[in-house]
Structure 1
Amino acid sequence: MTIPNLITVARLLCVPALVYAMILGELQLAFGLFLAAGISDAVDGFIARHFNQRSELGTYLDPIADKLLLVSVFVMLTWLAVLPLWFLILVASRDILIVAAVLLSSLMAQPVTVKPILVSKATTAFQIGLALVVLGELAFDLNLSGVGHTLLILTSALTVLSAAAYLIDWLRHMSDD
């Protein structure tokens, strides 16, 4: 168990507290927890890269923590009627597609190596930005003049592009002999 993995586990444990804060309407706390989780993601990545603490567990645990955090926030923001249901379905469908492809590949004895692609990293960055902006607007009663809506559209487009890129890569992998 490396330091980055411990940080990632802490991020995973933060998710229920974040969801509970949102249910209670404690949106400033939720914003703070989400911001701390985002910072912890950057910190664990930095430590893993710069202090040679990469691990196979971390390769799987880190994206799981990121997805659980983001999807949980998007579920809650949809439940609060702040984000549209179609966006939640889009984000969740992409993640389900990726997991299903990995599982299917393994079942067919053609396992894929899980590694993020550039458009996927951009998608995650925009998803985090969207969640921060929307939570910030709610928590601090801000009006950022359509920034959230613009981010919603850009994030949706990147989510579709990312899903398509992963699907194309997966189809190529599955057709290789």
Structure 2
Amino acid sequence: MQVRNIPNLLTVIRILLVAPLIYVLLQEDYFFALWIILMAGASDGVDGFLAKHYHWQSRLGSILDPLADKLLLISSFIVLAWLGHLPYWLVLLALGRDLVIVLGGLAYHFWVGPFEMEPVPLSKLNTLCQILLVVAVMISQLPGLDIPQLTGWFIYLVALTTLLSGMQYIWHWGGQAWRVSRTQKAGPESCRQRPETTNHG
């Protein structure tokens, strides 16, 4: 294995942590689940640092990294909702936003052209809020650490950033698709007009 593949290896390990995370959550072992989330967060920070500092970015990494984060968070959301610690409407809201982004990306790819999907600023904030919510819920389930008010605030903060980031994705990539389509339509017309302009000159 090449050294430059270390970030991708760490990302794969993060994906493999999804199964044990689901298991310990279903066993309601929140202490161990919290450690898994912290390990996943640490590996995310390390692989991001290595990729940027040593220029070890790759196409595979750009796909696997957000996928690993999404699998960990969505799995945590679903299980915590199943256990009664999160409202189902929040899980549906998060899943609906992700579905809109995926379908929008596919539509852009097939109707406009290939693109590099980069997270919008509000999406990064939304991911951070989701992580903090999951951590807060797990901490609140530990003996002597009941923090329902903090958890409640994070639930509404996640809902707000989920809606706003979804709208920002639609606005940003919808505008991008509109500009590209206008450019593509204007291209042939401008080419047809050039000979006429030259003849008049």
TM-score, normalisation: structure 2: 0.84
Q: Is the 8 A contact 1:102 1:111 kept in 2?
A: no
Alignment correspondent of 2:104 = 101
Name the SS of the counterpart of 1:146 in structure 2. helix
Number of the residue aligned with 1:133 = 136
* Whole-angstrom CA distance in 2 between matches of 1:106 and 1:141: 50
Residue 12 of structure 1 is matched in structure 2 by 15
TM value normalised by structure 1: 0.95
Q: Which runs of 5+ in 2 are unaligned?
A: 182-201
Equivalent residues of 1:28, 1:140 under 8 A apart:
no
Deviation at 1:146, TM superposition (A): 0.8
* 1:76 Cα deviation from its structure 2 partner: 0.5
Structure 1 residue 141, shift from structure 2 partner: 4.5
Q: Please report how far the alpha carbon of residue 174 of structure 1 lies from its aligned counterpart in structure 2 after TM superposition.
A: 2.0
Q: Deviations over 1:80-103 (max 9, x none)?
A: 011001100111111111111111
Give the CA deviation at 1:144. Answer: 2.2
1:78 aligned onto 2:81: yes
Q: Identify unmatched segments of 5+ residues in structure 1.
A: none
CA distance in 1, matches of 2:37, 2:142: 12
Of 38, 43, 49, which residue of structure 2 is paired with 1:46?
A: 49
Match of residue 91 from structure 1: 94
**Displacement of 1:38 after TM fit?**
1.2
Distance 1:140-1:40 versus aligned 2 partners, 3 A rule: farther
Higher relative contact order (CA 8 A, sep 6+): 1
Aligned residues: 177
Query: 1:52-67, aligned counterparts within 5 Å?
Result: 52-67=55-70
Structure showing greater Rg = 2
Question: In structure 2, what is the Cα distance between the partners aligned to 1:145 and 1:160?
Answer: 23
Return the match for 2:30 from 27, 32, 52. Answer: 27
Letter of the 2:7 counterpart: P
For each residue in 1:7-34, what CA deviation from the matched residue of structure 2 results, as whole angstroms up to 9, or x when unmatched? Answer: 0000000001100111122221111111
**Identity over the aligned pairs, expressed in percent?**
37
- Do the aligned residues in 2 keep the contact of 1:31 with 1:135 (CA within 8 Å)? yes
Distance in 1, Cα, partners of 2:85 & 2:104: 31
Give the 3 Å change call, closer, same or farther, for CA 110–140 of structure 1 in structure 2: farther
Quick one: which amino acid aligns to residue 59 of structure 1?
S
Among 124, 131, 156, the alignment partner of 1:153 is 156
Report the CA distance between 1:112 and its aligned residue.
3.1
AA at the equivalent of 2:35: G
Partners of 1:86 and 1:162 in 2: CA distance: 17
Contact 1:123 1:155 in 2 (8 A): yes
Instruction: Please tell me whether the aligned partners of residues 15 and 72 of structure 1 are also in contact (alpha carbons under 8 angstroms).
Output: yes
- Matched ranges for 1:106-117 at <5 A: 106-117=109-120
